[in-house]
Amino acid sequence: MITGFFVLFALFIGLMIILARNETLARILVGVYIAVEVGFTVYAIFHLNTRDGSYYLFDPAGVLFTIIISILSISTYYHSIIYLKRHPANPRHSSSYYASLILLITSMISSYLASDLALMWASIEATTLFVSYLIYYERSREAIEASWKYLYVSSVGIAIAFMGILLISLASAPFSSLNLEVLRNNISLVDPLWLKISFLLILTGFSAKMGFFPLHTVAVDAHTVAPAPISAFISTTLMNVGFIGIFRILSLLTQTLVIEWAKHLMLLAGILSIALASIQLMQIKHLKRMFAFSSLEHMGLVLLGLGAGGWGYIAALAQIILHSFVKASLFYQAGQLNGYYHTYFIRNIRNYFKVNPAGSLSLIFGVISILAIPPTGLFFTEVLIFIALFKAGYSALAILALILITFIIYIFISNLLKILFNEEEIDSINPSWPQSSQIKYPIFEASSQFLLIGFTVYLALVRPPMLMAMITDIVRLFPVS
């Protein structure tokens, strides 16, 4: 069972980092871990659709999200090194940061590949513990508050989801199994009422992880104080953890008459998420919170795609894949921007294009991509989502979503122009901040952002056969309409 050995390897590396308390050694060990992670991902690709022991399965959905996290682990490791250089701390704290990062990545991979609902749930709960510590890294009063809030609300959400999983187990007697394959073959025997209650609980509980209504606020608050590389994970791969939890249950419901009810529930949660994102963004003042509410909007669109069905299933999967890379690039750039201005408040950020042209270009490209302006990848996925909505007869819902997204586009562009081109002198806001001539931004620091954004364009225009084959295999679990 190679996944089990990979988990044990991660625990060993994490323990070594904590005991050594040496930042240089920690960086080396994290580099070794990521190299092994990439090798593990390659192994999973070549063993697609095969079991890995009793509790793991290299299915297309799990492997696809494992590929995403492997790519983003490299860039997050790179930006974590930069972040820790700019925010030096006690060696014990930086070692704990790297150890928690390794264990967070491992628990996310475990949740992606788990073929047993109980193991998936336990892995998702483990992500809560590790990310809560990473949110707390700066040890400020706000960080403590956000960390405890994330730990408490996420744990409550996970407990609600556990109740839903428990109901499935109790209602599935006499076969009473939480193995996905067994459940898929026997789910039609379960009372539809129990399935409805179960899915409602699971959708509500995992909304804390995926970041949509009603438990979305916990992720937004975490972004405010978390280190920028960790914010990139919270808004991408960690949201994918919530998605995979919901997606697994939804794929089971395709064998029952409950699927239409579940789709309507997701449509409701999706439009409410987009509406709340647009309302909150109208009064936004904090850059990372702006990006966080953008994630709320995109998760709402993913739910709309799943609720519409048909082409919406493919579009929703493509949406969450492309969103992962684009949103990560934006948070990496937010960290670079904070290195100069020492703040994330938009009113205190001025004339960034003159200060950091390379970083500004990556910010421009990132905003264009996240707003789904053509020819970016998210433009094509969102067009497919709205086609699916109109085709399924949800025209009024689609029009409402388009109106709300128009407000979001206006707010993003307005704030972007303020950040890039406002000529007000920084020194008039806070004389203690360094002059632009004192800050040297290496051009290559923004290279990861250009690569990630360029990668999304490549995926959308070229559509690699392997990626399309994996997405096709995933959506075969769902009805055509």
pLDDT of residue 425: 55
> Is 481 a member of any domain?
yes
339-366 per-position pLDDT tens digit:
888 899 999 988 899 889 999 999 999 9
Task: Tell me: pLDDT of 103 over 70.
Answer: yes
> Is 393 a member of any domain?
yes
Q: Which amino acid is at 382?
A: E
Residue 138 phi/psi, 5-degree rounding, is -75, -10
Token reading at 456: 């999304």
193-213 per-position pLDDT tens digit:
999 999 999 999 999 999 999
Sequence-distant (6+) residues with CB within 8 A of 256 are 187, 188, 190, 192, 195
Contact 243, 286 (CB under 8 A): no
Contact 288, 344 (CB under 8 A): yes
Domain ranges, residue 284: 261-481
Domain count of the chain? Answer: 1
Nearest one of 248, 245, 239 to 474, comparing CA atoms: 248
pLDDT tier for residue 442 given thresholds of 50, 70 and 90: low
Task: Tell me: pLDDT of 87 over 90.
Answer: no
pLDDT of residue 433: 46
CA–CA distance, 131 with 105 (Å, rounded to integer)? 10
pLDDT higher for 362 or 23? 362
CA–CA distance, 235 with 220 (Å, rounded to integer)? 9
Task: Tell me: pLDDT of 481 over 80.
Answer: no
pLDDT of residue 480: 57
Nearest one of 31, 140, 26 to 91, comparing CA atoms: 26
pLDDT of residue 441: 61
Full-model pTM? 0.94
pLDDT of residue 217: 86
What is the pLDDT of the chain when averaged over all its residues?
91
> Is 400 a member of any domain?
yes
pLDDT of residue 186: 84
Contacts 24+ apart (CB under 8 A), 370-373: 370/291, 370/294, 370/298, 370/323, 370/326, 370/327, 370/330, 370/412, 371/408, 371/409, 371/412, 371/413, 373/409
> Is 328 a member of any domain?
yes
Contact 155, 128 (CB under 8 A): yes
> Is 216 a member of any domain?
no
Q: What percent of the chain has pLDDT over 70?
A: 94
Task: Tell me: pLDDT of 179 over 50.
Answer: yes
Residue 369 CB neighbours (<10 A):
26
CA–CA distance, 154 with 384 (Å, rounded to integer)? 32
103-112 burial string, b = 16+ CB within 10 Å, else e? bbbbbbbbbb
Task: Tell me: pLDDT of 427 over 50.
Answer: no
Mean local confidence (pLDDT), 366-376 = 93
> Is 201 a member of any domain?
no
pLDDT tier for residue 437 given thresholds of 50, 70 and 90: very low
> Is 394 a member of any domain?
yes
> Is 327 a member of any domain?
yes
132-147 per-position pLDDT tens digit:
999 999 888 888 999 9
